[in-house]
Amino acid sequence: MLEKNPDTLKIVFKNFPLRTHNMARSAAESAMAANEQGRFWEFHDKIFSYLTSPSNKRLDQQELSRIPIELGLDMPRFLKSLKDPAIGAKINKDIREGVKADVTGTPSLYVNGRKVKNRSPQAIQEMIDQAVRKNKGTK
């Protein structure tokens, strides 16, 4: 979608660690600490690879601790970032915003505040096109 709409689409990621997943909060904090080194998406992708792993490998604290090493992050800087209260505050803010937006699971997609129900590329593109038309009409 971003490649098709480079001038009209902005992707905003919000954390919404599920309480039912015992590693979700730690994973979110770790990904945000990796973000301090510009490596959020690589860290994110490593975390989510556990969800799609054919070997059913589970994300646990030991596996989570390996990811920054695998990515070659500056470990003292990563560990310092991990302790930064600003990361926890950011995640808490994201959770509050998610609750307000009626997020019930992850991943959830929204286009201009409207929840995406039909996730086909065509339906998402139509929502983007509608939002662009609406925004052009208000300017």
pLDDT digits (tens, 9 = 90+) for 46-65: 998 887 777 767 889 999 99
Is residue 56 one of the residues assigned to a domain?
A: yes
pLDDT at 138: 63
Segment 37-54 shows an average pLDDT of: 89
Tokens of 102: 């009626």
What SS3 state is found at 1? coil
Is the pLDDT at 19 greater than 80? The verdict is yes
Tokens of 79: 């560990």
Is residue 41 one of the residues assigned to a domain?
A: yes
Is residue 124 one of the residues assigned to a domain?
A: no
Q: Would you place residue 44 in the very low, low, confident or very high pLDDT band (cuts 50, 70, 90)?
A: very high
Is residue 139 one of the residues assigned to a domain?
A: no
Report d(CA 79, CA 130) in Å as an integer.
44
> Cβ atoms within 10 A of the Cβ of 31, count?
26
Is the pLDDT at 111 greater than 70? The verdict is yes
pLDDT digits (tens, 9 = 90+) for 78-107: 999 999 999 999 999 999 999 999 998 888
Q: How much is the pTM? A: 0.84
pLDDT at 139: 54
Is residue 61 one of the residues assigned to a domain?
A: yes
Is residue 27 one of the residues assigned to a domain?
A: yes
pLDDT at 62: 93
Q: Which pairs with CB-CB distance under 8 Å and at least 24 residues apart come from 68-76?
A: 68/30, 68/33, 68/34, 68/43, 70/46, 71/34, 71/39, 71/42, 71/43, 71/46, 73/34, 73/37, 73/39, 74/37
DSSP state of 112: T
Q: Domain tally for the chain?
A: 1
Domain hosting residue 48, numbered range: 13-105
Segment 11-35 shows an average pLDDT of: 94
Please compute Rg for the chain using Cα positions: 17
Is residue 24 one of the residues assigned to a domain?
A: yes
Is residue 122 one of the residues assigned to a domain?
A: no
What SS3 state is found at 23? coil
CATH code: domain of residue 27:
3.40.30.10
